[in-house]
Each structure stands twice: as C-alpha cells, then as structure tokens.
Structure 1
Amino acid sequence: MKEVEQIEQLLVDPWTVDIQGLWEQALHNPDPDKRKLFDALHTYVLDKRQEQIINEKKFVI
C-alpha cells in the first residue's frame, strides 16, 4: 500500500512529474514488466497534461 500512496502523490500534479524520466525508463529498463508500467505512467501523465491544456479557457482549436 505504501507504493500505491507514493504513486498517487506523484500523480497529483502531472506538471511536477519528470516525464522524460518516465520515458527513459519505459525505453531502457531491463525488466519488460517495468517498461510496461513506466510506459503506462508516461501515457497517463501526458494525457493529464493535455487535458488540462485543452480545458483552459484561452485554448482554441
């Protein structure tokens, strides 16, 4: 449970997460399961950042 709490705290603000570090781990981690995890985390953080940008009032398509 401690790990889950740490991940949740990490993802509270997607702008504080080192997205490059997640991407590097997704590419170069020797454990294939960890690569999948870091890839999923990278995708999640990227989606949250995009969602926040799109929801800004000044954002226009």
Structure 2
Amino acid sequence: MRVNKPAAVATKLKGNMQTGSIVDYLKSINVDSSFANRKKLAAKQGIKDYTGTALQNTQLLKKLRG
C-alpha cells in the first residue's frame, strides 16, 4: 500500500540519492509523484510555471534533495 504524504514531507526525507528521476525519487520516499503533486512541490520550491520539462524536473530534484 502506497502512502501519499503531504508535499512538505518531501523536503525532510532522504530517499534514493542515486536516481536522476524526480518520479523515482518521490516514490522512494513514499510521496505522490503525480504531475499535480510535482507542480505543488515545484511552486513551494520557487519553480514557476511548472510544466514537467526535463530541466524543471532536474531543478526540483536538486532542490528536494537539498
């Protein structure tokens, strides 16, 4: 069973530090990896107009990992 944790939790957990995929990273910390949730996470991390491009996903991944 997959647990959908709030977007704020993503910045506090350490997940798969090897992956280059934001989706795989979010799954590794049991956070909803849907586009809608990634868009919310991106907004909270200061990424404007998130559309899910490779560049935006890389930026989001780096920000969440700290």
What TM-score, normalized by structure 2, do the two folds share?
0.31
More helix, by proportion: 1
Structure with the bigger RCO (C-alpha within 8 Å, sep 6+) is: 2
Larger Rg, first or second structure (1 or 2): 1
What TM-score, normalized by structure 1, do the two folds share?
0.32
